[in-house]
Structure 1
Amino acid sequence: MNDSSAVPAGFVVGGVSSGVGKTVATLAIGCALEDAGYAVQPAKAGPDFIDPSHHESITGRPSRTLDRWLCGEDGLRRNYARGEGEICVVEGLMGLYDGDRSSTAMVAEALDLPVVLVVDANAGMESVAATALGFAAYAERIDRNVEVAGIVAQRAHGGRHEHGIREALPDDLAYFGRVPPSEELEIPDRHLGLEMGSETQISRDALDEAAETIDAERLASIARVPPGLESASAASGGGEDETGELTVAFADDAAFCFRYPATIERLRERATVRTFSPVAGDPVPDCDGVYLPGGYPELHGERLEGGGTLEHLGRLASDGLPVFGECGGLMAMSESLTTVDGERYDMAGILPATVTMCDRYQALDHVELEALERTLTARSGEEIRGHEFHYSRADVGTDARFRFETVRGRGITGERDGLAEYAALGTYAHVHPESGAFDRFLDSLES
């Protein structure tokens, strides 16, 4: 492994479209590189929480979040630099050029990393090469500095099929291997995307078999360190034994699992961090403030209602304990949660809202919020950026008080986000620490 202060060299795994199999290809590439003796640091372009959970289950390292909208270009580069290992494999989002605020191509350009294009080869040979050539040429057409170095052929057979793809590729597009078609390489999905890595362990035998068809050394040869990031700008955060004048407790279980590694790192820079599980019925630790990440409270309604943790949290919030909840955290802070099947569960009762799950998503976008007044995560007039993706709606009381106007995105009402009560705040937006929101949160706890 390289020196811990060194920034890993990297490349981006982009796709021709959503659903082409980028996650499986990324996992197979990671296995191939590790089998070849390289320490792999995973990363994800875009605001996703689910794909990174699969990255971590295979590599054992938290996946870094790289999103130009959430982090800004400087923050994106800082977050990359905090990675470990020797080679960073960055999984893209959607198709390579898709996304008006932070596409895979934008991330590759910001870091000056080459792109390995995942192309569905299930029913093509020469057409696979034509597709790759078109993606490479398109960057020049739109005047973007994006280098498509070559391809991984998804769902490609060996023998004549693989040979035909290789022969059709022009000399300046490398063939890095294939991912064979296999039902064992399928990851089940549900309403927010794929199942989490902790829930569905993709067959390691199938991944190892796919890794054998990947040219790890050729991939390693194209990886490079982003210019200007030759040494890490900051070390990663430590464990729960960190000390600080503040203590922050955050929910950490199957219902509250959507958080960025950088968020916990940022909290640990200034506070002692303690975890608890509302699903298990843990008491809320003694602390100065609570963070409730998003996740799947709707899948654990019965245990959340009966476990006692949310009831305890509600009492603490009514006594003035600051509580910040994002999306699933907002849902848990509400009065009740009703599933699509009509099951109703009592929640913490901190916020004057009732939440109902819907059949289709209610919001999916990058968001921008402007603070109407000082709140837990922003100063008055300050703008913060985030992301929202939820299948629930929150119906609020007539006396509801909001702390944010939605400059971009839907929020809770279409015009407002940041429902507030006592010293608590709940938003549908997920924010990255590069937005400054968690620094403001810690500032609020100190004041």
Structure 2
Amino acid sequence: MKGAVLAGTQSGVGKTVAALAIIQAFDQDGYSVQPAKAGPDFIDPSHHTAIADCPSRTLDIWLEGVDGVRRNYYRGNGDFCVVEGVMGLYDGDCSSTAMVAEALDLPIILVVDAKAGMESVAATAHGFRSYASHAGRDIDVAGILAQRAHGGRHAEGIRDALPDEIQYFGRIPPQSSLSIPDRHLGLEMGSESPLDTKALTEAAETIHTEQIIAAARAPPRPEAPSEDVQSQSSISKTNSGFNSTPNTEVSHPRIAIADDSAFCFRYPATVELLNNRANVITFSPLADDPLPICDGVYLPGGYPELHGATLAESQALRSLADRATDGLPVLAECGGLMTLADSLTTTDGDTYEMAGVLPLSVQMEDRYQALDHVKLRADHSTLTADTGEVRKGHEFHYSAATVDSDARFAFTVERGDGIDGTHDGVIEYQTLATYCHLHPASGAFDTFIERVRS
């Protein structure tokens, strides 16, 4: 599968809108598109999924390694892969867009804000292309997509000013309807605020898909195939990625995953691995679904802070708390940690009683409290690691946790902030809750399945 990487000159330049317009353009031309996202983000991929109608792949060097990124790429399906970058092209020390493009050997389409420029847009593109050798990156800035560019003389001036080695792949017209509302953690989710269909269709008509296809390449194959995660082609093409029919192998554990707008941050590869090696069932604490009969629970991250009153009255959380205190294995990440706390206080000062499984309380803050790739070393054998093992992940949250003096931690933080700057992973009963989001390439979910099975 050939593809290209869509990179920005900086954060906020409009990469997500540009990616959605390209996906729409390919669809209108009769091509199927596999979307992907460089970096650990959950939110931008939700918009990809809303337009492409298939889960967006996560491509992150820190989380997966070079071979892991290539394997994840080839688990996708489609005639073409559009990889949306993270921040600016060269930004990020663990997994920049440039690093992902280099690992995949894909050409780069640079999104440049052309609102108040013409020849200067070409100069910007030339500088980004020339900087690659200075940065020691073997990458190819093949062309540009002019964001917020008018047609006529404006577009022609940009195209004519470009050096011969930099192509003009089209433009995104300046339309107020081509914007996505944001909140803390980033944009609103794709299911909440999809782009205006008419505006997106019009934007797609100004993109030169055939030129993009001509410039595209297929990445190198990974050195070894993945044995743990099944191909995307063998799971249902739903927005969540959950199988419509559960795995009925008797030896497979039954794992319940919280799945609603409060618990919506999970990687497709995680769902695929769990679908392949467990009987996966879902429940919604917001709908007050009862906790299903299960051998273990996975509470992914999301936005519990937006649903404090509902969660405080959730019978599902009360039954989960009862089962957790009885020793049911529960793995919770970020929003899941917040929900298992004694209480959650919003920035408005409203305090809600949560599940009360963990000896801690959570306070939402006006500014983010952590944003980084994370490296954790296990101090104890726990649900996701044996003693001494390292797990890599990422953290991004606006909440702060205050732990009781008798709280027990599972990990020492070697990179990142964790819960208290030094530790992450509160252990209580057979529950593990972290601020760290884990990717299955870390091995964490393999260990989780084995712990649940035993």
TM range (shorter): over 0.9
Shift of 1:90: 0.1
For 1:13 and 1:155, how far apart are their aligned partners in 2? 16
* Structure 2 equivalent of residue 161 of structure 1: 154
Q: Are 2:84 and 1:91 equivalent residues in the alignment?
A: yes
Q: 219, 241, 248: which is aligned to 2:246?
A: 241
- For 1:242, give the aligned amino acid: N
Shift of 1:230: 11
Contact 2:9 2:110 in 1 (8 A): yes
Q: 428, 439, 442: which is aligned to 1:432?
A: 439
Shift of 1:143: 2.2
* Structure 2 equivalent of residue 260 of structure 1: 267
- For 1:308, give the aligned amino acid: Q
Shift of 1:140: 1.4
Q: 324, 329, 350: which is aligned to 1:317?
A: 324
Shift of 1:223: 1.7
Shift of 1:14: 0.3
* Structure 2 equivalent of residue 297 of structure 1: 304
For 1:405 and 1:230, how far apart are their aligned partners in 2? 32
Give the direction of change, closer, same or farther, for the CA distance of 1:437–1:221 in structure 2 (3 Å limit). Answer: same
Q: Which string of whole-angstrom CA distances, capped at 9 and with x for unpartnered residues, describes residues 354-409 of structure 1?
A: 11101110000000000001000001000010000000011111100000000000
* Structure 2 equivalent of residue 121 of structure 1: 114
In the TM superposition, what are the counterparts of 1:6-405 in structure 2 within 5 Å? Answer: 8-228=1-221, 234-236=230-232, 238=235, 239=243, 240-244=245-249, 245-405=252-412
- For 1:261, give the aligned amino acid: P
Count of residues in correspondence between the two structures: 440
For 1:446 and 1:56, how far apart are their aligned partners in 2? 32
Contact 1:67 1:102 in 2 (8 A): yes
Contact 2:105 2:219 in 1 (8 A): yes
Contact 1:81 1:231 in 2 (8 A): no
For 2:223 and 2:172, how far apart are their aligned partners in 1? 32
- For 2:115, give the aligned amino acid: N
- For 2:430, give the aligned amino acid: A
For 1:62 and 1:177, how far apart are their aligned partners in 2? 26
Taking structure 1 as the reference length, what is the TM-score of the superposition? Answer: 0.97
Shift of 1:243: 2.2
Structure 1 SS opposite 2:302: coil
Using the aligned pairs only, state the percent identity. 63
Structure 1 SS opposite 2:177: helix
Shift of 1:74: 1.3
* Structure 2 equivalent of residue 444 of structure 1: 451
For 1:34 and 1:201, how far apart are their aligned partners in 2? 17
* Structure 2 equivalent of residue 4 of structure 1: none
Give the direction of change, closer, same or farther, for the CA distance of 1:374–1:63 in structure 2 (3 Å limit). Answer: same
* Structure 2 equivalent of residue 5 of structure 1: none
For 2:428 and 2:62, how far apart are their aligned partners in 1? 29
* Structure 1 equivalent of residue 239 of structure 2: none
Structure 1 SS opposite 2:433: strand
Taking structure 2 as the reference length, what is the TM-score of the superposition? Answer: 0.95
For 2:363 and 2:194, how far apart are their aligned partners in 1? 30
- For 1:27, give the aligned amino acid: L
- For 1:223, give the aligned amino acid: A
Structure 2 SS opposite 1:394: strand
Q: Which string of whole-angstrom CA distances, capped at 9 and with x for unpartnered residues, describes residues 237-271 of structure 1?
A: 53142223211000000000000010010111110
* Structure 2 equivalent of residue 3 of structure 1: none
**What value does the CA root-mean-square deviation take over the aligned residues?**
1.2
Contact 1:242 1:272 in 2 (8 A): yes
Structure 2 SS opposite 1:377: coil
Structure 1 SS opposite 2:88: coil
Contact 2:10 2:89 in 1 (8 A): yes
Contact 1:14 1:115 in 2 (8 A): yes
For 1:36 and 1:172, how far apart are their aligned partners in 2? 26
